[in-house]
Chain A
Amino acid sequence: MTLSELSATRGAAPAADSRLLAREDRARLFRFMAMMRAAEERGLLLYKQGKVPGSFYDGRGQEAICVGAAYALAPRDRICILHRDLGAHFVRGVTPDRYLANYMGRSGGVTGGKDGNMHFGDRRLGCVGMVSMLPDMALVATGLALAFRMRREARVAMTFFGEGSTANGQWHEAMNFAAIHRLPVVFVLENNQFAYSTPNDLEFAADPIGRAEAYGFPGQKLDGNDVEAVFEAAAAAVERARAGEGPTLLECETMRMHGHGAHDDMSYVPEGMLDRWAQRDPIERYAERLTADFGFSEAEVEGIREEVRSYVDECAEKALASPMPEPEIATEGVFAERWEPLGDGEAPWSRWSRDTSNGAGRLPERSAA
């Protein structure tokens, strides 16, 4: 049975099938989400202490999407991660100290101080970092996928964006082109209800998920606060892409539980909305699920939280010990001396330790463009 079939037959007993997720996978999914929450809480604290230049942006409430989606990737796949998706960086191998140092403009940050906050991607881990023009990375991911297709490689590009990006022309250009050439891209749409302060009903008249079919490829709307639902949908989409069947759009319904940035008081959010979404917190829901459905003890779950807290504390100390960059480097590195390949990301899904292909290999000629 293929992953797609597994996903399609999921039905009443969601993700209980251990062929998809082993026990250690579930522990990792929980750990990555908890680590994202803890690291962002620590970052916000550093911001309030005046140690973060500029503002502070987090993805509180959206942890399940980036963690669940990135968890489906193989080492040689590539990913464009945005600012609500810290967990995806952690899945691929970035450590929290480098994230916190990046926020503080320290030399130990992923960009060494050249760029700030979440504007980073570790090229050694197969990530091309975002720019502030948020729909742009959909096109870059499409281009990565074009290279895979032209070389007949069974590799996948994944990218994230919010529903705000779906109003921009570049998003359309990416979706349309990926569809024409059936490129191996997974488009992960995080509908967190607001583009800064603009609500869905001022962003579009028709739900973006409906556009996937119009472009000519499948779209799936899902509960973005359910990490296993996201993972399963992403795994099926990744497998589809890898098999040469083209792109998929996943619309993950969620809520941005903090402001656009720490400077945003969220006065535009209707009363009660945050409280309602808080009942669906992705981390607490998964903690319950681990004990209720998957045989984890309360102590185990609490142990993961405890380990993550102390690890993030350690990472924060390391980030704070990292020096500010030397001013001389401000004028260095504008041009490249040579092309260097991106490195491969970590791929903790247990499938990749069982599957020696590492998600690589060549596509059969019949699936070529």
Chain B
Amino acid sequence: MAEMTYLEAISDGLREEMRRDETVFCLGEDIGAFGGAFKITEGFAEEFGAERVLDTPLAENLIIGAATGAAIEGLRPICEMQFADFISCGFDQLVNVAAKLHYRQGVSVPMVVRLPSGGGFSGGPFHSQNPEAWFLQAPGLKVLAPATAADAKGLLTSAIRDPNPVCFLEHKGLYRRVKGEVPAGEHTVPIGEAAVAREGSEMSLIAYGSSVHLGLQAAEELGEDIEVIDLRTLCPLDREAVLASARKTGKVLLAHEATRSCGVGAELAALIAEQAFEDLDAPIRRLTAPDVPIPFSPPLEQAVLPQLEQIKEACRELLAY
């Protein structure tokens, strides 16, 4: 075990897998000698050589498409989108080619697409998005969104070893802000399993990514018996964990930074309403970004992204219901 940041944990997981398995390689923009926009692959080119830390031209369809071909042939490519937003430029290859190949033809595509996502630093409308719902409507993609350093490493390792295309959302706001104990050496976290981040019995706060930390902070500051569920994987969704917590507490707050309509929260609300309705003691609440692009100016961005005080207020209301 060693304490490291979320960012260091991602680097550590990548490095471990590249050392363990020579078929694993990274490709993306500025990831080689430069080490990547966020320095995830800093030092990798020196250790693994330029070919396994492959600098690509500025062409996201190429990154995803070439990774798809290489994965079909048995390599384990890890694509870095410089920002998650740029997956829009590689979307066709991801959702039409990679995602559907196994269903259509039995061809497995073991690849990872790393997606630095999220706002909170005046990145504006094209460097702050949370695109997870785009992928959830494309059957054939697994979607991960770790919140802790240990999970970031463990889920990334599992993603690299998975025989399917995996979208790995790494929230930029967590990169250097979140630290934690991370197992040294090989560390995997199973895909498709949520975690109870904080046990409680009065209400459930179900979240993923950055919202997990807001939820934990809110629960601590309120000093209430709030359970915080960290989804960790968005597809395949751990429905049992969600339903178990909802049934246990009877009150559910769903929180995420992505926009509201048809988001993960909407899916969870429908799931709980369909399968745990009789156990509910209050209407299901959602706290999300509104359906707007992420604005640039700090006061505007803060007006859009879920804030700690809003989560606390929603918790108070639910607890009092």
Binding site for B on A (CB under 8 A): 78, 110-111, 114-115, 119-121, 123, 128-129, 131-133, 136, 139-148, 150, 157, 169-170, 173-174, 176-177, 180, 333-342, 369
> Judging by beta carbons under 8 Å apart, are A133 and B92 in contact?
yes
> Judging by beta carbons under 8 Å apart, are B57 and A180 in contact?
yes
By a CB distance below 8 angstroms, the chain A residues around B66 are: 139, 142-143, 146, 177
By a CB distance below 8 angstroms, the chain A residues around B101 are: 128
- A129 to B105 alpha-carbon distance, docked (Å): 8
> Judging by beta carbons under 8 Å apart, are A150 and B25 in contact?
yes
15 contacts between A and B (CB under 8 A): A120-B104, A128-B107, A140-B65, A140-B93, A141-B69, A146-B75, A147-B74, A177-B57, A177-B59, A177-B66, A334-B103, A334-B140, A336-B102, A336-B108, A338-B108
- Chain B residue with minimal CB distance to A185? B69
- Chain B residue with minimal CB distance to A112? B106
By a CB distance below 8 angstroms, the chain A residues around B57 are: 173, 176-177, 180
Q: Is B142 at the interface (CB under 8 A from chain A)?
A: yes
Minimum CB–CB distance from B52 to chain A (whole Å) comes to 8
> Judging by beta carbons under 8 Å apart, are A157 and B69 in contact?
yes
Q: How many A-B residue pairs have C-beta atoms within 8 angstroms? Tell me.
A: 143
- A4 to B277 alpha-carbon distance, docked (Å): 72
By a CB distance below 8 angstroms, the chain B residues around A123 are: 105-107
Given A142-B69, A146-B69, A173-B62: A335 and B93 within 8 A (CB)? Answer: no
Minimum CB–CB distance from A81 to chain B (whole Å) comes to 12
> Judging by beta carbons under 8 Å apart, are B105 and A111 in contact?
yes
- A334 to B59 alpha-carbon distance, docked (Å): 27
Q: Is B56 at the interface (CB under 8 A from chain A)?
A: yes
Q: Which of B158-187 contact A (CB under 8 A)?
A: 163-164
Binding site for A on B (CB under 8 A): 25, 51-52, 56-57, 59, 61-62, 64-75, 92-93, 96-97, 100-110, 139-140, 142, 163-164
Minimum CB–CB distance from B227 to chain A (whole Å) comes to 30
- A144 touches which one: B73, B102, B110 (CB < 8 A)? B73
> Judging by beta carbons under 8 Å apart, are A369 and B51 in contact?
yes
Minimum CB–CB distance from A94 to chain B (whole Å) comes to 12
- Chain B residue with minimal CB distance to A153? B73
- A139 to B68 alpha-carbon distance, docked (Å): 9
- A131 touches which one: B74, B96, B103 (CB < 8 A)? B96
By a CB distance below 8 angstroms, the chain A residues around B74 are: 147, 339, 341
By a CB distance below 8 angstroms, the chain A residues around B68 are: 139-140, 143
- A177 to B109 alpha-carbon distance, docked (Å): 20
Given A115-B105, A338-B163, A339-B108: A136 and B92 within 8 A (CB)? Answer: yes
Minimum CB–CB distance from A281 to chain B (whole Å) comes to 32
By a CB distance below 8 angstroms, the chain B residues around A131 are: 96-97, 100
> Judging by beta carbons under 8 Å apart, are B61 and A143 in contact?
no
By a CB distance below 8 angstroms, the chain B residues around A340 are: 106, 108
- Chain B residue with minimal CB distance to A148? B73
Given A180-B57, A339-B110: A133 and B96 within 8 A (CB)? Answer: yes
- Chain A residue with minimal CB distance to B101? A128
Task: Give 7 closest A-B pairs by Cβ, nearest first.
Answer: A143-B69, A139-B65, A336-B108, A147-B73, A143-B66, A173-B62, A144-B69
- A369 to B62 alpha-carbon distance, docked (Å): 18
By a CB distance below 8 angstroms, the chain A residues around B61 are: 139, 169-170, 173
